[in-house]
A = this chain, B = another copy of it.
């Protein structure tokens, strides 16, 4: 639960739309995308628009209050959980689950030192085929077919 003072950073105004979007994200563990957030926000404020959702997600990410998760293909998803962790993305349905493992932040400083890049952070993302998406044959074999898979690094 982020306090209002954090959200009222210089040059920013805390609107009810912004607060609503953050509350929705804080209440969920399924890493929703912009459209899913819009859908839930409309239950509270039917007039809210998609552009407002995108704009606020961007501002909240700038403020470091939420994280943007790339799913390689589909649109971005978002996460307001404050504890650092990794993600496991299904290559077929795009579903994102948490993996309770992360690298030390000292690694970021190390990369910054070696490259000269500023404000270095990192994202560790796993990709796989979730049990719901795997075929019966694949489950038996223990691995998904290469066909219709993609090899990713991102």
Which residues of A line the B interface, CB within 8 A? 9, 11, 58, 61-72, 76, 79, 87-88, 90-91, 97, 99, 101, 103, 107-108, 111-112, 115-131, 134, 138-139, 142-144, 146-154
Contacts and interface: CB of A to CB of B under 8 A. Distances in A.
The 5 closest A-B pairs by CB, nearest first: A70-B154, A117-B128, A67-B153, A120-B128, A69-B154
A38 to B, nearest CB: 19
A124 B122 CA distance: 7
Contacts of A62: 146-151
A10 to B, nearest CB: 8
30 contacts: A9-B146, A11-B147, A61-B152, A62-B148, A62-B150, A63-B151, A64-B151, A65-B151, A67-B152, A67-B153, A67-B154, A68-B151, A69-B153, A70-B70, A70-B71, A76-B154, A88-B111, A88-B117, A99-B115, A112-B128, A118-B138, A118-B143, A119-B149, A120-B126, A121-B151, A122-B125, A123-B124, A124-B124, A125-B153, A154-B154
